């Protein structure tokens, strides 16, 4: 019942935007959008500071074995480094490359 009173109090707010937000229950939606935006910003920052992650195929060791486990070879995915470029950093590099080509 208290929530209803709060919604009614805000729906008669002098600012029509705030009144519309409170009556149509858009506050949880805006909160979810804000949380997603913060998560995307955090991932972008991690791609900026740590562009590489461990290779998923060789689990960061840089080498793969045959199924019988006798022969070890460099991992073809990471070329033996054990690291691979993150998807976000790869996208950033592609966009920056296209931008540089367009500005020539």
Burial of 75 (0-12, 13-18, 19+ CB in 10 A): buried
Q: What pLDDT, on a 0 to 100 scale, did the predictor assign at position 59?
A: 87
- Give the model confidence (pLDDT) of 15-62 as tens digits: 666 666 666 667 788 888 999 999 999 999 999 999 999 998 898 889
SS (HEC) of the chain: CHHHHHHHHHHCCCCHHHHHHHHCCCHHHHHHHHHHHHHHHHHHHHHHHCCEEECCCCCCCCEEECCCCCCEEECCCCCCCCEEECHHHHHHHHHHHHHHHHHC
pLDDT digits (tens, 9 = 90+) for 71-100: 888 998 899 999 999 999 999 999 999 999
Q: Helix, strand or coil for residue 12?
A: coil
Tell me what pLDDT residue 21 has. Answer: 60
Q: For residue 36, what pLDDT is reported?
A: 96
């Amino acid at each position: 019942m208290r929530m209803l009173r709060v919604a009614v109090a805000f729906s008669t707010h002098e600012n029509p935007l705030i009144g519309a937000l409170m009556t149509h229950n858009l506050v949880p939606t805006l909160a979810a959008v804000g949380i997603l935006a913060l998560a995307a910003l955090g991932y972008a920052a991690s791609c900026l500071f740590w562009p590489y992650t461990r290779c998923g195929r060789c689990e960061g060791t840089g080498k793969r074995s045959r199924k019988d486990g006798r022969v070890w070879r460099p991992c073809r995915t990471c070329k033996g480094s054990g690291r691979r470029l993150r998807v976000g950093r790869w996208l950033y590099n592609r966009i920056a490359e296209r931008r540089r080509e367009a500005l020539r």
